[in-house]
Chains A and B, each alone.
Chain A
Amino acid sequence: MRRGRAYLIITIYLIMMSILVGLVYLGLASTANNVGNSSSAQAVGKIVFGIVVGVEMMMVCFVAPALTAGAISSERERQTYDLLRTTLLPTRSLVLGKLTSALSFLLLLLVVGFPLQALASLFGGVAIEEVLVAFLLLAVSALTFSAIGLLVSSLMKSTLASTVISYVAAIIVVFGEPTLIGIALSFMGMLSGLVYTSSLAPFQVKILEVLLYSIGYFLIALNPLATIIASEVMLIENQTLFITTLPMTSGGNFPILAPWIAYVLIYGFFSLVFILISIRFVRRVEK
């Protein structure tokens, strides 16, 4: 943060977020019968909070790769890589140091957004648990998308190529998955219709229903925005943050963990794998 660029980025980010929140509030206020009414206020608070978190999630998904896509490749391009490799600096320290540097800046961007989240809390309708879960999802996303950029950077010689590939990966995860989810859900809807009208035995129907629920749940837990929405829906409808049940047409209930828990576990696991692979690649001696 020695140069002014970092401060400029933060300033522009905050200005844009503030304008967005302001516009959303004004839009809601103009349509609400009475903003002073507590239920209207809570609804406004929830929407503002949701938008802030959504924008922050987009920011994390698309800024994190930019911060780490050049972590290792830029050292090669700048011809400082060999200088580092011949020191006693352990490879894991080099890789984790680069990751920590990127995460620190992302964390700073998240922290400066807290006042906007607090603004939403003033309206009510946002529990402290939601704030904490949202922050956890943002932090894990920051870690994973940074790790993606780091992995690609450790493989590529060129920062440009590394950045392109990292962004393609981020786009696939953020936008490609919902498309896949949509297709999968339509397919599952069709399949479930067939299942119930078919002459399958009850236990077979149950198994298929469990399979369909599991696939749908897994797909949702793989996407950051889908996870946020699904977790929020679960909180609103079932008033629970951790475990809930879904009714099964074949009888009984299907217990599921809150999507955010699965998301944290899955993305946490992938982050660890990406980081370990990055360390392995950086440790290699050129053949």
Chain B
Amino acid sequence: MSAVIEIVDLSKQYSGQGSQKAIDHLSLNIEEGDIFGFVGPNGAGKTSTIRIIATLLQASSGDVRVAGYSVRTQLRQVRNAIGYMPDFFGVYNDMLVWEYLDFFGACYNIPANQRTRLIKDLLDLVDLTHRHDDPVEGLSRGMKQRLSLARTLIHDPQVLILDEPASGLDPRARVEIRQLLVELARMGKTIFFSTHILADVAEICTQVGIIEAGKLVAAGPLEELQQMLMPHRKVQITVLAQPEEALTTLKAVQGIRSVTELHSNGETRSRFEIEFNGDDQALSEILASLVSKGIPVLHFSEDSRDLEEVFMRATKGLVT
């Protein structure tokens, strides 16, 4: 597959920023069909990167190519190839829902006789058909977000550039947006979105990029990042009795890097957390070892190496 977004040594420095760069020699390739999650703390450079890709901001150096077109010299072609949704956007409160999409359809030169059908299909996709004739100002935040997503799709772009698409939404609305994005990727769209909601990234992204202080600190499939940044497996073990014997047994096992006894007030059971290097076979042997010594094991499970942990390990907590 070819890279549909190529970010080549991109830098951005705002005037009055001194030597600190908002984007510092960022290079990234996003393949066709990917759902790319661009993660970073506030002020990391996510929005600046997205605005450059969307041709709204000039880069200080470097280039971005979208579907083969340069954002420096081929703005119109880039704008035709992308659908852009900013993190904060307004709507035209005097318009009805269908008029809003019709207006932007006209802005993309879609013939009037095609727009009616297209609007119906888009509203159906984002589940807003029942609000077709309602004023835009009466929509909830989640509905406006879905309407804006429909707007980005009006001209059938190859790439969606979304800046914090789930920002400010309630959990149900966030789930709906995630489902929509997955559906759009299934339809062949490439999606590049920024977020600081790690759960969204973990759920749907095929590729993740972590940026901090303008620099890309890690990028790739989530599993690779987990393996790279968290090579050790964490396992939670709860025993009903014989905690000292359990501790001794665990410390004696080869491959266990550390054993931590966790205490909870008022509990009769004992909980341990182990960091372990080993495969599934070795992990099952630890359980077998505990059980063979008559230690009553109540709970034995591995922690998923979640993105929050990956993020915390990748970033230093710097703020631009």
List residues of A whose CB falls within 8 A of some B CB.
2-3, 78-80, 82-89, 285-287
Given B58, B80, B82, B86, which contacts A285 in the complex, CB threshold below 8 Å? B58
State whether B79 touches A86 (Cβ < 8 A): yes
Smallest distance from the beta carbon of B21 to chain A beta carbons, Å? 14
State whether B76 touches A88 (Cβ < 8 A): yes
State whether A87 touches B57 (Cβ < 8 A): no
Bound-complex Cα distance A281 to B94 (A) = 27
Q: Check A82/B86 contact, CB under 8 A, given A88-B79, A286-B57.
A: yes
* Residue in A closest to B71 when the chains form the complex, CB atoms: A285
Contacts of A88 in B (CB 8 A): 76, 79-80, 107-109, 155
State whether A79 touches B86 (Cβ < 8 A): yes
Q: Check A80/B90 contact, CB under 8 A, given A89-B107, A285-B55, A287-B58.
A: yes
Smallest distance from the beta carbon of B40 to chain A beta carbons, Å? 20
Bound-complex Cα distance A78 to B93 (A) = 10
B 51-84 binary contact with A (CB < 8 Å = 1; else 0):
1001111100000000000000001100110101
User: Taking the complex as formed, is B298 at the interface, i.e. its CB lies under 8 A from any CB of chain A?
Assistant: no
Contacts of A287 in B (CB 8 A): 15, 57-58
Which of B76-104 touch A at CB < 8 Å? 76, 79-80, 82, 84, 86, 88-92, 94, 104
B contact residues, total (Cβ < 8 Å):
26
State whether B89 touches A82 (Cβ < 8 A): yes
State whether A285 touches B75 (Cβ < 8 A): yes
State whether B54 touches A86 (Cβ < 8 A): yes
User: Taking the complex as formed, is B151 at the interface, i.e. its CB lies under 8 A from any CB of chain A?
Assistant: yes
Q: Which 10 A-B pairs have the closest CB atoms?
A: A87-B107, A79-B90, A78-B90, A89-B107, A86-B84, A80-B90, A287-B58, A2-B94, A285-B58, A286-B57
Q: Which of A84, A85, A87, A285 has the most CB of B within 10 A?
A: A87
Bound-complex Cα distance A207 to B66 (A) = 65
Contacts of B86 in A (CB 8 A): 79, 82-83
* Residue in B closest to A75 when the chains form the complex, CB atoms: B90
Contacts of B104 in A (CB 8 A): 83, 87
Bound-complex Cα distance A82 to B54 (A) = 9
Contacts of B90 in A (CB 8 A): 78-80, 83
| 5 interchain pairs, CB-CB under 8 A | A79-B88, A82-B86, A82-B89, A83-B104, A286-B51
Bound-complex Cα distance A83 to B87 (A) = 11
Smallest distance from the beta carbon of B9 to chain A beta carbons, Å? 19
State whether A84 touches B94 (Cβ < 8 A): no
Contacts of B58 in A (CB 8 A): 285-287
Contacts of B155 in A (CB 8 A): 88
* Residue in A closest to B87 when the chains form the complex, CB atoms: A79
State whether A82 touches B56 (Cβ < 8 A): yes
Contacts beyond the supplied A84-B107, A86-B82, A89-B107: 6 A-B pairs with Cβ under 8 Å: A80-B92, A82-B86, A86-B84, A285-B56, A285-B57, A286-B57
Q: Which of B56, B76, B108 has the most CB of A within 10 A?
A: B56
* Residue in B closest to A89 when the chains form the complex, CB atoms: B107
Bound-complex Cα distance A285 to B151 (A) = 22
State whether A83 touches B151 (Cβ < 8 A): yes
Bound-complex Cα distance A3 to B108 (A) = 27
* Residue in A closest to B85 when the chains form the complex, CB atoms: A83
Q: Check A82/B84 contact, CB under 8 A, given A89-B107, A285-B55, A285-B58.
A: yes
Smallest distance from the beta carbon of B162 to chain A beta carbons, Å? 12
Smallest distance from the beta carbon of B320 to chain A beta carbons, Å? 18
* Residue in B closest to A79 when the chains form the complex, CB atoms: B90
Contacts of B108 in A (CB 8 A): 87-88
Contacts of B57 in A (CB 8 A): 285-287
* Residue in A closest to B110 when the chains form the complex, CB atoms: A88
Bound-complex Cα distance A287 to B60 (A) = 8
* Residue in B closest to A3 when the chains form the complex, CB atoms: B94
Smallest distance from the beta carbon of A58 to chain B beta carbons, Å? 29
Bound-complex Cα distance A11 to B84 (A) = 42
Contacts of A86 in B (CB 8 A): 54-56, 79, 82, 84
